Amino acid sequence: MGEMYYSEFVDVYDKLFATTKRLEKEAILAEFIKTLAKKDESEWIYLLKGKIFPDYDEREFGISGQLTLKALAFAFGVPENKVTEMYRKVGDWGQIAEELADKKRQTTLFSSKLIVKKVFENLRKVVSIEGKGTVSRKIELIAELLGNASGREAKYIVRTLLQDLRIGVADALLRDSITDAFYHDDKKEMVSLVGEAYDLANDFAVVFEAAQKGKKELEKISIIPGKPINAMLAIKVEDIDEAFEVCGVPAAVEDKYDGFRVLIHKNKDKIWLFTRRLENVTKQFPDVVEAVKKYVKGESFILDSEVVGYDSKTKIYRPFEAISQRIKRKYDIEKIAGQLPVEVNVFDVLYYQGESFLKKEFKERRKLLEKIIKNEKWKLVSARQIITSSKEEAMRFYENALSRGEEGIMVKKLDAPYQQGRRVGYMVKLKPTVNDLDLVVIGAEYGSGKRGGMLTSYILGCRTEKDFVEVGKVSSGFKEKESEGVTYDQITELLKPLIIEEKGNVVRVSPKMVVSVTYQNIQKSPSYSSGYALRFPRISHYRPDRGIKDIATLKDIEKEFVRMQRKAEK
Ligand code: AMP
């Protein structure tokens, strides 16, 4: 028990890399998961996703191409300029690590075999080191692993560190493989049970362990205040007719506030605030914590809400950008809270006084919400809502919402449970037609002239089952001056640490930065790996509050393409 060679992981990585077929991948993973179960180290399962922490944990390696270069030079005793030269030729850190490690093995007689425990430990240390000498300590920890690694092992260690494993293990695949590893009967039920458990835990180690023990243990995984959970997502509709079709009538119609999603957790005197990507933002919003204490009754609860900024003088709501800077803020928090006040609009309750409300009907949850909230304008209120079967009434509500500067409306199914993640159609959004999509930046180009040294053009990607594919390039939307909004300079600073490959003036970055993009049309295009290209794209928002799970999938793009074609034909 407990002992395992890292080479066993590497064998699986290679096998997964070698096939793009979903069923084959699933079989490979299921087999390996059975082996892993015998080791009694459930956290090692994170390595299959190239991670060392659960998905809700935001800590990162913080390893750039530059640091990789230094670690490789140090580990293999090669001058840095030689490594740079190799990089110029090959353009792939993983491959360079492999070559260097193989060469070293040929000349050294002895090196010990890497065990998973050691790899896992060192990787965790790389994340946790802080303070003086951090960089050189990180390099030492990485070099210690590389120095004892075979070529293939070195390649995957480097790829893990750069968060670029390239073996195509998405959450859905891992969930299904865990089910396959332990269950043969009632497959459908177990797939959905494992899926639900994952939505609640956001932690593959927890799900993996429970799945081994059996159905009862999986069912025990529940929501508790303090542990972040995935939010329910909305689908987009074209008009009220479609909204009613999806949600049935009567339905609830609510304002769609233009702020950012916050799940509010409380247990006794402790309050936590989590964004939709499970990031803990409690510290950044002491004013929200205060409001929750004051205006919500109850010892323990989990609420779903949209937090919206407003101008303290004019009392006019401000667009998301204005408060987005509060999300990442680490200093002067009280001061900025005064300058950029927010209002909390609560629209759901998922847990109350020790009981989960996820499976209860929305109308019941809303009733509870109204009982426990004391509405206080500009601080904390329950979302404006009507319940109606009338198209005219819904239309009036919609127009009224727009005239008050809201983004649009949400229509919600009254008897639906709170279904986490997946866009199931229990709530739909209706906005005036601007075509927009959330996408992730997967590459960028340096500008020239006045914009030299800055990354000013961005390659956009959407999600597939396996990884990310390109859907176009965008260079407009950000600003030159800070007073006007997010600048190219700021975006460059944020992108630089994410660079994993550099060729000429083009860089590839690990997919982290989410942006909302408007565009005029979608075309088929051989120039981008998705086969589609956005026409006239423009970045409307930088979205630090969203993660890659939130972005559009290739299927979404295909659907949009078909929809736009149809519209054009009408
Ligand atoms: P979108 O961001 O366009 O996918 O729209 C869904 C988002 O709208 C949710 O994730 C919330 O952040 C936000 N939202 C604003 N008002 C509401 C509301 N009344 N109910 C649910 N979500 C809302």
What residue ranges do the domains of the chain occupy? 233-430, 436-569
pLDDT, tens digit, for every residue of 311-346?
888 888 887 777 887 887 888 888 888 888 999 999
Is the distance from the beta carbon of residue 277 to the nearest atom of ligand 1 less than 6 Å?
Answer: no
Instruction: Using the atom order of ligand 1, give the atom closest to the CA of residue 258.
Output: 15
For 24, 345, 355, 375, 450, the CA distances from 31, given in Å and listed in that order, are 11, 47, 37, 54, 55
Is the distance from the beta carbon of residue 546 to the nearest atom of ligand 1 less than 6 Å?
Answer: no
d(CA 213, CA 218): 8
Maximum Cα–Cα distance across the chain: 81
pLDDT, tens digit, for every residue of 1-15?
568 999 999 999 999
d(CA 308, CA 379): 10
Instruction: Using the atom order of ligand 1, give the atom closest to the CA of residue 276.
Output: 10
**Catalytic residue (one of 25, 51, 155, 256):** 256
Which residues share a beta bridge with 459? 443, 473
Structure tokens at 559: 């659907």
Rounded to the nearest whole angstrom, what is the distance from the C-alpha of residue 428 to the centroid of ligand 1?
A: 9
pLDDT, tens digit, for every residue of 56-84?
887 888 888 899 999 999 999 999 999 99
Averaged pLDDT, 157-171: 92
Is the distance from the beta carbon of residue 256 to the nearest atom of ligand 1 less than 6 Å?
Answer: yes
The total of other beta-carbon atoms located within 10 Å of residue 49's CB is 18
Structure tokens at 69: 């270069």
3-state helix, strand, coil split of the chain in percent (to 5) is 45, 25, 35
d(CA 349, CA 529): 41
What pTM was estimated for this model as a whole? Answer: 0.70
* Those residues with Cβ within 8 angstroms of residue 348's Cβ, 6 or more apart along the chain or in another chain: 232, 303, 304, 305, 362, 365, 366, 369, 418
pLDDT score for 417: 95
Q: Is 256 a catalytic residue?
A: yes
Look at residues 468, 364, 470, 380 and name the one whose alpha carbon lies nearest to residue 417: 364
CATH number of 233-430: 3.30.470.30
Rounded to the nearest whole angstrom, what is the distance from the C-alpha of residue 257 to the centroid of ligand 1?
A: 7
- Counting ligand 1 atoms within 8 A of each CB, the residue from 261, 434, 438 with the most, and so the one to mutate, is 261
Averaged pLDDT, 177-185: 95
pLDDT score for 353: 94
Is the distance from the beta carbon of residue 306 to the nearest atom of ligand 1 less than 6 Å?
Answer: yes
Rounded to the nearest whole angstrom, what is the distance from the C-alpha of residue 281 to the centroid of ligand 1?
A: 18
Specify the pairing of strand 427-430 against strand 235-236. parallel
Domain 436-569 architecture = Beta Barrel (2.40)
Is the distance from the beta carbon of residue 254 to the nearest atom of ligand 1 less than 6 Å?
Answer: yes
Instruction: Using the atom order of ligand 1, give the atom closest to the CA of residue 429.
Output: 5
d(CA 184, CA 199): 22
The more confident residue out of 563 and 264 is 264
Look at residues 294, 292, 288 and name the one whose alpha carbon lies nearest to residue 259: 288
Look at residues 367, 380, 227, 383 and name the one whose alpha carbon lies nearest to residue 293: 380
How long, in residues, is the chain? 570
Which residues share a beta bridge with 514? 440
Please provide the DSSP assignment of 533-555 as one string: EEES-EEEEE-TT--GGGSPBHH
The mean of the pLDDT values for the chain is: 92
Specify the pairing of strand 235-236 against strand 355-356. unpaired
